[in-house]
């Protein structure tokens, strides 16, 4: 039965690699923003946050492109319409987030006149003289999208756990390749 089939291998790799990276970056970003005092140590860690973020941007283009071309599987099991619709909204929101989180960060750095060195491999360019208006706007969006992403992620996680533990259907198993 088609609905019971596993997500294909590339979809599973894309999903779990980006999931680990995005959750790591959300925790890292909140830690940097909320708990870390200013100083050279913070500046160095922000450099790591930015470099990983730029790599995520390119992985995200591939991940979202692949999903748009391949489409989604139908629901793993029959469920109420509101559940199916909210799951889909969360999926689309999370797909948007893997592109918009790094993009807003990159544009913030671009207009803030801060080129981003990506682990010595290449450098993302920036304007010569900082322009505080767009830089501030993009960093504001970066923080706002982060909160929205955390909300969607909690919804997504609660859904995955409910399907697995309460409904005991194949939703989680088919993303693990075990349907």
Task: Write out the residues near ligand HEM by the rule CB under 6 A.
Answer: 11, 15, 18-19, 22-23, 25-26, 29-30, 32-33, 46, 49-50, 53-54, 56, 67, 73, 76, 91, 94-95, 97-98, 101-102, 105-106, 109, 116, 142-143, 146, 153, 156-157, 160, 171-172, 174-175
Cβ(51)–Cβ(117) under 8 Å?
yes
Neighbours of 26 (CB within 10 A): 17
- What CA–CA distances, in Å, run from 92 to 9, 95, 99, 121? 20, 5, 11, 31
* In the complex, least distance from residue 88 CB atom to ligand HEM, rounded to whole angstroms: 9
Compute the C-alpha angle 49/53/56, nearest 5°: 145
- Lookup: tokens for 146: 């982060």
Q: Which residue number, 105 or 111, has a Cβ lying nearer to ligand HEM?
A: 105
Smallest distance, ligand HEM to C-beta of residue 84, A: 9
- With beta carbons less than 8 A apart as the criterion, state whether 84 and 75 touch: yes
Nearer Cβ to ligand HEM, position 18 or 111? 18
Q: Which is nearer to ligand HEM, 128 or 136 (CB)?
A: 136
Pick the closer one to ligand HEM by CB: 32 or 137.
Answer: 32
Q: 23 is written with which tokens?
A: 């959750």
């Amino acid at each position: 039965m088609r609905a019971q089939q596993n997500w294909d291998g590339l979809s599973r790799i894309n999903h779990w690699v980006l999931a680990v990276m995005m959750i790591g970056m959300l925790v890292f970003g909140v830690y940097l923003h909320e708990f870390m005092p200013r100083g050279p140590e913070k500046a160095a860690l922000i450099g790591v946050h930015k470099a990983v973020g730029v790599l995520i941007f390119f992985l995200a283009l591939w991940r979202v492109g692949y999903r748009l071309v391949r489409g989604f599987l139908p629901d793993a099991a029959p469920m109420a319409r509101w559940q199916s619709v909210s799951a889909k909204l969360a999926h689309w929101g999370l797909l948007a987030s893997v592109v918009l989180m790094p993009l807003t960060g990159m544009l913030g750095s671009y207009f803030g006149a801060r080129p981003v060195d990506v682990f010595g491999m290449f450098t993302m360019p920036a304007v010569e003289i900082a322009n505080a208006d767009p830089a501030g706007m993009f960093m504001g969006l970066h923080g706002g999208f982060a909160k929205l992403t955390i909300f969607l992620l909690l919804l997504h996680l609660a859904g995955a756990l409910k399907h697995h533990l309460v409904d005991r259907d194949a939703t989680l198993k088919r993303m693990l390749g075990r349907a």
